[in-house]
Structure 1
Amino acid sequence: MHGRLKVRTTEEQRLLKEKEQQKKLTAYQTGMKQILSTRNPTSYDPKSFAISAQLLVVNPDIYTLWNYRKEVILLELDKSKSECKDTIIDNGICDEKSQESLDVTKGLIKFLENEIRLTEQCLLANPKSYGSWHHRYWIMEHHPEPNWQNEFELCTKYLTMDDRNFHCWDYRRLILNKIGMSLEDEIKFSTERINVNFSNYSSWHYRSTLRKLDKDSLESEINLIMNAIFTDPADSSAWFYLRWVLSNPEMTEGHRKQLSQTLDQLLELEPDSKWCLLAKCWINGIKKGENMNEDQIEELTENYKKLLILDPLRKGFYSHYLNALESKKLNNA
């Protein structure tokens, strides 16, 4: 009737969606054909280069296009070096004595800055795009005047918005040595992000890449973990980090005994905590079985039996260890 909006049927919506998808596919195929047909090891087509940027903004995970753009950038770097009339220092930087050389270097910097801006557009479309992060770092390494401090601050900003973006954590780790950031400051930043969100597995993992734990740092790490697991015993992030800490050669029998007693306190509060029972098994499992006494074997057996009930999806895993413990009992008899 007049004056009423027409509501499309499900079939009409499906056909419109298919039409839109076909339109995008055609544009993609046409663009890729243009790019590949003009791909050349000694020169490049500016139109194809622009099309590749348009395609990447829509889908930043097309590795072929990132590789194509790297080829073009290498051509520009070679061109910059050949056009410099004076001594070339590195990465296309020309001797400041020549104004012409300065102009060439400025042109190269502008070209690379545009490429950095492209990666920013792509990261807005997909903040966890492998290709975009890798390309950005590659550009920075070929940049005549890389601003690593700006990149580091950008990482801090990104992680404040999404502290689970492990791509950004990896990028930050690569930049650390470029700016000379102290280990203490970076550990502090990681701790701050964990205290904001204990479920931030990326930050827990990041800590494991920063340093090897020693006697001095081991206690503080254990305290941080205990704080996290008592706050949220059901979250897996801190438990996985605990398992990594347990594998440290600086872990003593005293550390394991203290941890086991602390976990017993948690079990009184959370008797059905799967992760707490698993951690108790990890602590005894460090001894590799052959050094365990009968009481330890019995405790492990009881814990795995409870886990069979609490976590039936991993029944085979727990049954395997129960069978191994049963064999150990027979051998000790």
Structure 2
Amino acid sequence: MHGRLKVKTTEEQQKAKQEERAKKLKLYTAATSKAFQKRKAGELDTELLEITGQVLHVNPDFYTFWNIRKETFLHLHDAKESAELQKLYRGELDFLEMCLKVNPKSYGTWHHRSFVMDHMPQPDWARELELCNLFLQFDERNFHCWDYRRFVVKRSKVAAVEEFDFTTSKISSNFSNFSSWHYRSKLLPILHPDPTQPSGIAPHVIQSEFELVQNGLYTDPDDQSNWFYHKWLLGRGEQNQRINYAYISCVKKQILVSFTKAIKIGVASCEVLLNKSKVNVTWTNQNGTSAFSTLWISFPEFICL
């Protein structure tokens, strides 16, 4: 009918999608080929940045192209003035934000952002911290972002107490946040050191941490994040070396000994274990070598008396 839009059939829609995919694949393949050609020819210029950018915007996990961009930036670093470099790196940060919107958990994208900030003439660390806050609002379990945040904090020398307060706010809003609990465990020995304690942390602080995590356990008893942190608090001390068990088999004519910590034993150790002055056996670990291990087996055989 005149004046009415024609509604495409399912078959026509499918054909249109296939044609669109074929067109994108052709452009993707051409850009990839062109980028490798320019790299091989040593043409590390802004055009190469543009070509690799077209591919990475579609597929941020193409790690080789991030390496090519690093090579290009390092090449341009010696050829441009500081103001030009600042502008170039500023544009790269904007580009990286677009890539992170495509895939917020892209290893290559976050790693490349660290590279840019380390080479930028005038890095704005406060802005990077705000960026981390923004992405952690979208996904508070994005451990890629947490790793990048620790990088930013280290470079910008943010006080540990500020980061500790940040973890408290994130945990208070959602106890099911393993990354915050983990970060907290790394900050406690820095903020409240006590070398007299096995944990290296002041006892009153450990007690307050127990109270905090117990609130999480009452709120959501089935959440693993709280239990992992609770387990860390309980097992924070260093274990002493001891024998877990010793098994002597007169049938197999062998001895099996398990320790709490990896150890390397020999004939002298065997004499102590068996309370004998002379023992004609050697020891190997479960892999058949003499490297450090928690499990040791006598060889070739032990003679029962």
Give the TM-score normalised by structure 1.
Answer: 0.63
> Is the aligned partner of 1:232 residue 2:227?
no
1:194 counterpart residue number: 171
C-alpha distance in 2, partners of 1:245/1:16? 58
Conserved in 1, the CA contact under 8 Å of 2:45 and 2:72?
A: no
Q: 1:193 to 1:33 in 2, by over 3 A?
A: same
Conserved in 1, the CA contact under 8 Å of 2:45 and 2:76?
A: no
Conserved in 2, the CA contact under 8 Å of 1:225 and 1:238?
A: yes
1:6 positional shift: 2.4
Deviations 1:257-309 (A, max 9, x none): xxxxxxxxxxxxxxxxxxxxxxxxxxxxxx9977xxxxxxxxxxxxxxxxxxx
1:164 positional shift: 1.9
Higher strand share: 2
2:287 counterpart residue number: none
Q: Find the residue that maps to 1:52 and give its secondary structure.
A: helix
Deviations 1:6-36 (A, max 9, x none): 2522x44443333332222211110000000
C-alpha distance in 2, partners of 1:58/1:288? 56
Partner amino acid for 1:246? L
1:181 counterpart residue number: 158
> Is the aligned partner of 1:68 residue 2:68?
yes
Q: Find the residue that maps to 2:78 and give its secondary structure.
A: helix
Q: 1:183 to 1:49 in 2, by over 3 A?
A: closer
1:55 counterpart residue number: 55
Q: Find the residue that maps to 2:101 and give its secondary structure.
A: helix
Higher helix share: 1
2:144 counterpart residue number: 167
Q: Residue 110 of structure 2: which of 133, 147, 153 is its match?
A: 133
C-alpha distance in 2, partners of 1:241/1:221? 9
Partner amino acid for 2:62? I
1:223 counterpart residue number: 211
Q: 1:226 to 1:49 in 2, by over 3 A?
A: same
Measured on the aligned residues, the alpha-carbon RMSD in Å equals 2.5
C-alpha distance in 2, partners of 1:288/1:186? 41
Conserved in 2, the CA contact under 8 Å of 1:35 and 1:52?
A: yes
1:126 positional shift: 1.5
C-alpha distance in 1, partners of 2:108/2:17? 28
Partner amino acid for 1:207? R
Q: 1:4 to 1:57 in 2, by over 3 A?
A: closer
C-alpha distance in 2, partners of 1:177/1:247? 28
Instruction: Kindly report which structure 2 residues correspond to 1:250-261, keeping only aligned pairs within 5 A, or say none.
Output: none
C-alpha distance in 2, partners of 1:184/1:216? 17
1:247 positional shift: 2.0
1:275 counterpart residue number: none
1:45 positional shift: 4.3
Q: 1:8 to 1:244 in 2, by over 3 A?
A: farther
Instruction: Kindly report which structure 2 residues correspond to 1:31-110, keeping only aligned pairs within 5 A, or say none.
Output: 31-40=31-40, 42-80=42-80, 104-110=81-87
Partner amino acid for 2:218? F
Conserved in 2, the CA contact under 8 Å of 1:42 and 1:75?
A: no
1:42 positional shift: 4.7
Conserved in 1, the CA contact under 8 Å of 2:125 and 2:156?
A: yes
C-alpha distance in 2, partners of 1:47/1:145? 24
1:151 counterpart residue number: 128
Q: 1:4 to 1:147 in 2, by over 3 A?
A: closer
1:5 positional shift: 4.9
1:6 counterpart residue number: 7
Partner amino acid for 1:32? T
C-alpha distance in 1, partners of 2:235/2:12? 59
Partner amino acid for 2:137? T
1:195 positional shift: 1.1
Conserved in 2, the CA contact under 8 Å of 1:43 and 1:75?
A: no
Q: Find the residue that maps to 2:221 and give its secondary structure.
A: coil
1:118 counterpart residue number: 95
Runs (5+) with no aligned partner, structure 2 = 190-198, 246-305
1:244 positional shift: 2.3
Deviations 1:128-187 (A, max 9, x none): 111111101111111121121221122123223332221111111111122222222211
Q: 1:242 to 1:46 in 2, by over 3 A?
A: same
